């Protein structure tokens, strides 16, 4: 099977999983993933010890299928990692161990997991429709428009994931979004979130 | 081996490791303070009154610098698939050594869970 065909299969599989578990929006939550993991018989271990680059790992051996997740990951990366490891369970479970760190990302099996996770959280077709609905044309997408997209759809796909896809689909020129400080940009447009204001006020009062 | 026997074994191992720690061993109170548990908890683990959780055992194993599986009675030949996991971890050269160490600890944690679960399941009629 060619690489492109393999990646196409991963997108199809992600669609099947969305259908099977009733995921209809681009806002997939940790509770959705926990429900899917439970149904698939995958044990989740939130690892409280310090990891340098590793975000998760999938194990499947005599002890059963389990996923180690770095505890303390923010919601979006945690959801993406859970999606990524789910692909290993569905597709690569015979390989026993899948170690998922950035240095490992060029391998086909890992790229496939990234594609699967992104598609499961926010399908490409839905993404394309949402951008067109916001009036974004090919090659003209700005960082501000992607912030608006994330805000409006409440998607749990990270800014990094959204930006990569916008570039891949040709909505934005290649590498044009690589160095955007997304959270800062979001706060400059919509203001500092309430929880951060409260935290800052509390710090100030000390 | 029954759950009670395993619990007693775990307690004995904790005591052995504690009394052999450093040059003079470490007191139950000092160990409890390091693990942030009540002072009498260590005593109850050692006597088998309380059963430490896997997370407790993981913290104990880190404190004593041993593998978590050392808290369980020696089991027969390791499952071939578990051996394969060890081999794969050894082969994962691209990972940072610290991450590799954590993965190995996680693999051992899973093994310990399986050992613990095994003793509990065997107890049922």
Nearest chain B Cα distance for residue A140, angstroms = 38
Best mutation target among B53, B87, B99, B121 (most A Cβ atoms within 10 Å) is B99
| CB distance A27 to A155 below 8 Å | yes
Which residues of chain B have a CB within 8 Å of the CB of A61? 79, 81-82, 84-85
pTM of the model: 0.84
ipTM of predicted assembly, 2 dp = 0.81
Q: What is the DSSP letter of A158?
A: -
User: Does A66 contact B110 at a Cβ distance shorter than 8 Å?
Assistant: yes
Of the pLDDT bands very low, low, confident and very high (cuts 50, 70, 90), residue B39 is confident
Chain A residue with CA closest to B59: the answer is: A49
A–B interface: beta-carbon pairs under 8 A? 66
Interface of B with A in 38-67 (CB under 8 A): 62
Q: What is the per-residue DSSP string for chain B?
A: --HHHHHHHHHHHHHHHHHTSTTT---HHHHHHHHTS-HHHHHHHHHTSS---HHHHHHHHHHHTS-GGGGSPPPSS--HHHHHHHHHHHH-TTS-HHHHHHHHHHHHHHHHHHHHHHHHHHH--
Instruction: Print pLDDT tens along chain A (206 aa).
Output: 888 999 999 999 999 999 999 999 999 999 999 999 999 999 999 999 999 988 999 998 888 899 999 999 999 999 999 999 999 999 987 765 666 555 555 588 889 999 999 999 999 999 999 999 999 999 999 999 999 999 999 999 999 999 999 999 999 999 999 899 999 999 999 888 777 777 777 777 76
Any A CB within 8 A of B36 CB = no
Residue of B nearest to A106 (CA): B94
pLDDT at B91 over 70: no
**Coil, helix or strand at residue A174:** coil
């Amino acid at each position: 099977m060619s690489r492109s065909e393999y990646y196409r299969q991963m997108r199809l599989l992600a669609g099947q999983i969305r259908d099977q578990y009733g995921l209809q929006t681009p806002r997939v939550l940790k509770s959705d993933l926990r429900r899917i993991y439970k149904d698939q018989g995958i044990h989740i271990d939130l690892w409280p010890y310090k990891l340098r680059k590793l975000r998760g790992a999938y194990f499947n051996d005599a002890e059963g299928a389990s996923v180690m997740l770095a505890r303390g990951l923010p919601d979006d990366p945690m959801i993406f990692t859970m999606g990524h490891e789910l692909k290993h369970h569905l597709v690569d479970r015979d390989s026993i161990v899948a170690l998922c760190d950035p240095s490992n990302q060029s391998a086909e099996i890992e790229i496939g997991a990234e594609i699967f996770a992104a598609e499961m959280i926010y399908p490409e077709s839905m993404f394309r429709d949402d951008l067109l609905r916001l009036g974004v044309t090919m090659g003209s997408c700005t960082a501000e428009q992607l912030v608006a997209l994330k805000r409006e759809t409440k998607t749990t796909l990270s800014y990094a994931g959204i930006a990569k896809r916008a570039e891949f689909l040709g909505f934005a020129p290649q590498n044009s979004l690589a160095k955007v400080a997304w959270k800062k940009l979001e706060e400059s447009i919509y203001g500092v979130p309430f929880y951060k204001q409260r935290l800052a006020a509390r710090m100030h009062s000390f | 081996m029954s759950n009670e026997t395993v619990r007693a074994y775990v307690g004995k191992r904790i005591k052995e490791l504690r009394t052999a720690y450093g040059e003079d061993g470490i007191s139950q109170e000092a160990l409890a303070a390091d693990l942030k548990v009540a002072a009498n908890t260590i005593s109850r683990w050692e006597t088998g009154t309380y059963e430490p959780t896997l997370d407790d055992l993981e913290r104990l194993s880190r404190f004593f610098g041993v593998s978590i599986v050392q808290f369980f009675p020696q089991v027969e030949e390791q499952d071939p698939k578990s051996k394969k996991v060890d081999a794969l971890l050894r082969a994962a050269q691209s990972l940072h050594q610290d991450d590799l160490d954590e993965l190995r600890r996680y693999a051992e944690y899973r093994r310990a869970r399986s050992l613990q679960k095994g003793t509990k399941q065997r107890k049922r009629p």
